[in-house]
Amino acid sequence: MKKFILFIVISITFLFIKSADCHYSEDNYHLDSLTNKIELNILQDSANYNYICKVIMKMYPIHCAMGPMGCEKCKEYSKEKKYCFIGLLHKGGKFQRPMMQLDLTGTKTWYEFDQFKIFNSEEEAIEYSKKNSIRILDEEK
């Protein structure tokens, strides 16, 4: 009897599932509508924040959260400092970001940041900063 009632409950549940709630994406992942909404929020995390400032500075570029010990591309990036265009956030969003300590106002403060662009040369960084009125920070020792 219990099995029969369970079968009826499951059958009724399947009647109310819409085909739009489950779909097959291009990345071969099965996503339901709730997961899809969460992914959109992740993509919009940075868009809703005002950056304290956007600067160009010489640093080791960031590739992913695994770092040089777990990622070949990060290992390659850690060999040489390059000029990077970054946006500094004093208070970040819902998701963890890399942090750095900078002295922008006379006191060293920790800032979360998003890396937007990596420049191949100093000349390219200078040209970009002049064109877009972006400050180039000196390397802190």
Domain-wise residue ranges, the chain: 53-137
Q: What is the mean pLDDT of the chain?
A: 76
Percent of the chain with pLDDT over 70: 70
User: Parallel, antiparallel, or unpaired for β 108-118 and 99-103?
Assistant: antiparallel
pTM for the predicted model, two decimal places? 0.61
- Which of 79, 76, 74, 86 lies closest to 128, judged by CA? 86
pLDDT in tens, 91-126: 766 777 888 888 888 888 888 888 899 999 999 999
Query: pLDDT per residue over 36-79, tens digit each?
Result: 444 444 444 554 567 888 999 999 998 887 888 888 988 898 89
